[in-house]
Amino acid sequence: MNKWVQSPPWLLGFLVLCALAVAAFIVNMTMEPIHPGSTWGIAYGIGALAAFGVVLLHSLRRRTLRFQKLGRSWMYLQIHVYGGALFLLLVFMHSGFSVPTGVHTWWLWFLSIWVVGSGLLGIVIQKWIPTVLTSGLRVEIHYDRAGELIKAIRQRCEKLIAKSDPRLKGFYTDHVAPSLGGTNPRLTYFFDITGGIHTRIKPFGHVRPHLSGADKTTLDAVQELFTSKLEIDAHCTLQRALRGWLVLHIPVSIVMTALLGVHLFSVMYY
């Protein structure tokens, strides 16, 4: 199965719908100018509202037991993704592919783009990050246990360093200890986990020739623990992105839904 497209038939169906919608829009333009108040503009607005209603089925299924018996969650996710993209296309068609001038409609138009765009970003993140995590890391952690694991690593390092040579203690104090106070997210982990970790442990190789045999053994043990800590940092960096994108998507979706309700009410009663 393709990594990015779970179901080619769904994608094909979506592209066919988009092509038909755009073709209809082109034909309609030859008949009359299209704007939100025109006949076809209103029709596309109704279509966008219908698509948005279908998109909400995914949320309803997650929160309502009755919907959980009606089809697989995978199907509802496909409806959510492709229905959201179709909704945005119909919003553009509703406005005649022009930027609304009213404050309320401009915000509704802008938030529609934001919600669909952040949703597509979430799809990319959810498909990309798990692959990155499994390709470059030896350890697997639960996000909420990161602090506990780092504390244990720090305690073990301090126990190893306690009776070591002053040069090793100085190296530990300057280059290792500052990183053991908590998680340290780094942008580089999004692109090259192995390279990012390798860069951080290079100083171990610089100090090694200056240590005795016993201290070299201690250094190796500390390096192993420090590498595990860096892998925890990488996990937290990427898992935080997995969780954080929802902040960009869900609250804005709620605001957009409220604005859509106000817009619908104003159109129907004013």
Q: Report how far residue 244's alpha carbon sits from residue 114's, in angstroms, rounded to the nearest whole number.
A: 15
Residues 170 and 194 in one domain: yes
What is residue 90's predicted lDDT score, i.e. its pLDDT? 96
Residues 229 and 154 in one domain: yes
16 assigned to some structural domain = yes
Residues 109 and 151 in one domain: no
47 phi/psi in degrees, rounded to 5: -60, -40
129 assigned to some structural domain = no
1 assigned to some structural domain = no
Pick from 106, 112, 57: nearest CA to 89? 112
Q: Report how far residue 24's alpha carbon sits from residue 189's, in angstroms, rounded to the nearest whole number.
A: 46
Mean of pLDDT values over 205-234: 91
Mean of pLDDT values over 188-203: 85
What is residue 219's predicted lDDT score, i.e. its pLDDT? 93
User: Per-residue pLDDT for 248 more than 90?
Assistant: no
Residues 17 and 115 in one domain: yes
What is residue 130's predicted lDDT score, i.e. its pLDDT? 74
What is residue 125's predicted lDDT score, i.e. its pLDDT? 83
Residues 264 and 183 in one domain: no
Residues 20 and 96 in one domain: yes
All residues at 6 or more sequence positions from 33 whose CB lies less than 8 Å from its CB, including other chains: 96
DSSP line for 82-144: HHHHHHHHHHHHHTTTS---SHHHHHHHHHHHHHHHHHHHHHHHHHHHHHHHHHH-S----GG
What the block records as the tokens of 75 is 């199907």
Residues 36 and 117 in one domain: yes
Residues 237 and 251 in one domain: no
Residues 255 and 230 in one domain: no
Residues 34 and 116 in one domain: yes
Residues 84 and 26 in one domain: yes
Contact of 190 with 238, CB cutoff 8 Å: yes
- Average pLDDT value over all residues in the chain: 87
106 assigned to some structural domain = yes
130 assigned to some structural domain = no
State pLDDT tens for residues 46-87. Answer: 999 999 999 888 777 766 655 556 667 778 888 899 999 999
209 assigned to some structural domain = yes
Q: Report how far residue 129's alpha carbon sits from residue 190's, in angstroms, rounded to the nearest whole number.
A: 8
What is residue 160's predicted lDDT score, i.e. its pLDDT? 92
10 Å Cβ neighbour count for 54?
A: 16
User: Per-residue pLDDT for 1 more than 80?
Assistant: no
Amino acid identity of residue 239, one-letter, is Q
133 assigned to some structural domain = no
What the block records as the tokens of 144 is 């909420």
Residues 236 and 148 in one domain: yes
79 assigned to some structural domain = yes
Contact of 239 with 185, CB cutoff 8 Å: no
Q: Which domain holds residue 183?
A: 143-242
What is residue 117's predicted lDDT score, i.e. its pLDDT? 94
How many separate domains does the chain show? 2
